[in-house]
Amino acid sequence: MRSHLIAALGAACLLLAAPLANAQDKPTDPQIAHIAYSAGLIDIEAAKLALTKTETKAVTEFAQSMQKDHEAVNEQALALVKKLNVTPEDNATSQALAKAAEEKRAELAKLDGAAFDKAYIDNEVAYHKQVNAALETLLIPSAQNAELKGLLETGLKLFQGHQQHAEHVAAELK
Amino acid sequence: MAMLLDRRCFLALGSAVLAGSRLARAEAGTVHVAIEKLVFIPAEIEVKAGQTIEWTNRDPFAHTATVKGRWEVMIPPGKTATKVAEQSDSVEYYCRFHPNMKGRITVLS
> Which domain CATH number covers B40?
2.60.40.420
The domain total for chain B is: 1
Cβ–Cβ below 8 Å for B60 and A154:
no
Q: How many domains is chain A built from?
A: 1
For residue B62, count CB atoms less than 10 angstroms from its CB and return exposed for 0-12, middle for 13-18, buried for 19 or more: buried
Q: Does residue A21 lie in a domain region? A: no
Residue A24 lies in a domain: no
Does the pLDDT of residue A5 top 50, yes or no? Answer: no
A95-134 pLDDT per residue, tens: 999 999 999 999 999 999 999 999 999 999 999 999 999 9
Q: Specify if B34 maps to a domain.
A: yes
Cα–Cα distance, A75 to B5 (Å, whole number): 48
Q: pLDDT at position A62, please?
A: 98
pLDDT in tens, B7-45: 544 444 444 444 444 433 334 689 999 999 999 999 999
Structure pTM?
Answer: 0.82
* Residue A2, pLDDT score: 42
Q: What is the ipTM of this complex?
A: 0.84
Query: Tell me, what's the pLDDT at B109?
Result: 82
Distance between CA atoms of A58 and A82, rounded to whole angstroms?
36
Q: What is d(CA A51, CA A112) in angstroms, rounded to the nearest whole number?
A: 12
Which residues of A make CB contacts under 8 Å with B? Answer: 65, 68-69, 72-73, 75-76, 154, 157-158, 160-162, 164-165, 168
Write the CA distances from B10 to A55, B4, B6, B57, integer angstroms.
60, 10, 6, 36
Residue B13 domain-assigned? Answer: no
What residue spans of chain A are helical by DSSP H?
2-11, 14-23, 29-53, 57-84, 92-109, 113-134, 140-142, 146-173
Q: Closest chain A residue to B102 measured between Cα atoms?
A: A161
Q: Is the pLDDT of residue A11 over 90?
A: no
CB of B50 closer than 8 Å to CB of B25: no
**CA gap B109, B107 in Å, rounded:** 6
Strands, sheet with B80-84, edge to edge from the N-terminal-most edge strand: B39-41, B30-36, B52-57, B80-84
Question: What Cα–Cα distance (Å) separates residue A65 from each residue in A3, A46, A49?
Answer: 39, 12, 14
Residue A5 neighbours by CB distance under 10 Å? 16
Among A75, A132, A165, A167, which would you mutate to test the B interface (most chain B Cβ atoms within 10 Å of its Cβ)?
A: A165
- The reply to whether A33 falls in a domain is yes
β pairing state of B44-48 and B102-108: parallel
Q: Does B96 touch chain A (CB under 8 A)?
A: yes
Q: Which domain holds residue A110?
A: 29-173
Contacts of A160 in chain B (CB under 8 A): 100
Residues of A in contact with B77 (CB under 8 A): 72
A165/B60 Cβ within 8 A: no
**What's the rounded mean pLDDT across residues A19-39?**
82
- DSSP 8-class letter at B51: P
Range of the domain at B48: 30-108
Set of chain B residues whose Cβ sits within 8 Å of the Cβ of A165: 96-99
